[in-house]
Amino acid sequence: MMNKLMKGLKCREVYSTIPYKRQDEKNIKQYLHPFLLKEVEEIYKSLTGCNPNLATKKSKKNLLWESNVATTISHIHLFGTNHRPDFVFKFNSGTAVAVEIKKGESGPELHEGIGQAIVFSTHYEFVSLLFIDTSKDGKIKESLKGEKEQNLIASLWKHYNIMFDIV
């Protein structure tokens, strides 16, 4: 399930079509929404065996988007402040996934995304965090090859159920 969600977030069609480095996060999420919705449909078809029409209905009902006025994502109150993920996928009554998309070119944005994901892990069973590297040389994405970075990614998954990736 988490791999399919990440596949929707990393959709090459979006990143090869739009000038994502110049887009704000809200616009990128708007472009990603239909691809994420498609992957949620696939999750329903593969994990529950439901027919395509039902999978479409369930995905539209259960993929909540903070920018959609027709849906509500409740705030998480922690450390005296409110927090809310970009998307929430409510698969069933016991499984909900917070989805956070963060864009940036340096450490502060990366720190913010990882911090938000950890906060969301206190409320959701799983968190999917995608960081969009807008640095000129792609240094953040390139760093994924490093041993320390791989250890942190593994630790986020093992200890917090956070799947993290960078495009």
- What pLDDT score does 96 carry? 95
How many domains is the chain partitioned into structurally?
A: 1
- What pLDDT score does 72 carry? 81
- What pLDDT score does 57 carry? 96
Q: Which residue range is the domain that position 109 belongs to? A: 2-166
Residues in the chain: 167
Residue 82 burial by Cβ neighbours in a 10 Å radius (0-12, 13-18, 19+): exposed
Distance CA 111, CA 152 (A): 12
CA dihedral 99, 105, 110, 111 (to 10 degrees): -140
- What pLDDT score does 94 carry? 80
Distance CA 52, CA 104 (A): 37
Residues of the chain with pLDDT under 50: none
- What pLDDT score does 67 carry? 81
